[in-house]
């Protein structure tokens, strides 16, 4: 069941809880087949996290402050000395609501307590180094240039698929022409 009425948005309006999917022909290798969850959007700009770029290291390997074995993801190219997390844990204190089922951040001590109890898993939390950010009207300009596909698919889908399959899975869920995009080859010259 989807949280939003329609899995895609043809009017280019954007809000927290929507996905941005890189267009199939996007030439920037930093964002090839990228899926970004928008966490904040206002007239001042936007903030999001790339949800399908895992690293090879765990959170506990990246910082000795958390005993969490979840893989660390690259959230984006901005401020890669910061750590963020998205989760489905409604009881985590001080979390910000992104959508019906997805929360951003929360109280560090509560997070650590849940981790020590084994309640933080890959199925309910993702951790990110860095983020993706846009200044005032920058994202809107990119949308006008067809850099991104906007999706209203329930963000919980990111916990239901392997990261490398997420771009395709969201496009298939959107249906129509987007389902066709999901089969587009990574390099059409090799087709």
Q: Which of 123 and 24 is assigned the larger pLDDT?
A: 123
Report the alpha-carbon distance of residue 158 to residue 126 in Å, rounded: 9
Domain carrying residue 74: 19-57+70-87+127-184
Is residue 10 scored above 60 in pLDDT?
Answer: no
For residue range 146-157, what is the model confidence (pLDDT) as tens digits? 889 999 999 999
- Asked if the structure places residue 23 within a domain, the reply is yes
- Nearest CA to 183 among 171, 157, 166? 171
Which residues is 104 bridged to in the sheet?
Answer: 86, 96
Element (H, E) at 174: helix 166-174
Q: How many domains is the chain partitioned into structurally?
A: 1
Tell me what the mean pLDDT of segment 55-71 comes to. 91
Domain assignment present for 28: yes
| Residue 111 maps to a domain | no
The model's pTM: 0.88
CATH number at 140 reads: 3.40.1740.10
Question: Does residue 159 sit within a domain?
Answer: yes
Q: Are 157 and 173 in contact (CB under 8 A)?
A: yes
Say which residues have a Cβ less than 8 Å from residue 165's Cβ, sequence separation at least 6.
none
Using pLDDT thresholds of 50, 70 and 90, give the confidence band for residue 6.
very low
**Euclidean distance between CA atoms 109 and 182, whole angstroms:** 40
């Amino acid at each position: 069941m989807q949280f939003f009425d329609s899995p895609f948005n043809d009017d280019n309006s954007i809000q927290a809880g929507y996905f941005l999917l890189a267009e199939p022909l996007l030439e920037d290798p930093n964002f090839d087949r990228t899926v970004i969850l928008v966490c904040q959007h206002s007239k001042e700009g936007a903030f999001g996290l790339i949800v399908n770029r895992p690293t090879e290291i765990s959170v506990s390997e990246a910082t000795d402050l958390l005993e969490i074995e979840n893989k660390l993801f690259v959230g984006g190219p901005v401020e890669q000395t910061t750590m963020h997390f998205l989760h489905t844990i409604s009881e985590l204190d001080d979390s910000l609501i992104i959508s019906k089922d997805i929360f951003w951040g929360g109280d560090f001590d509560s997070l650590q307590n849940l981790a020590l109890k084994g309640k933080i898993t890959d199925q309910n939390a993702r951790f990110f180094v860095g983020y993706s950010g846009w200044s005032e009207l920058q994202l809107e300009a990119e949308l006008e240039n067809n850099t991104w596909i906007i999706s209203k698919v329930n963000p919980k889908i990111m916990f239901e698929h392997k990261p490398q399959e997420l771009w395709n899975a969201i496009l298939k869920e959107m249906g129509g022409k987007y389902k066709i995009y999901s089969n587009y080859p990574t390099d059409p010259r090799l087709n």
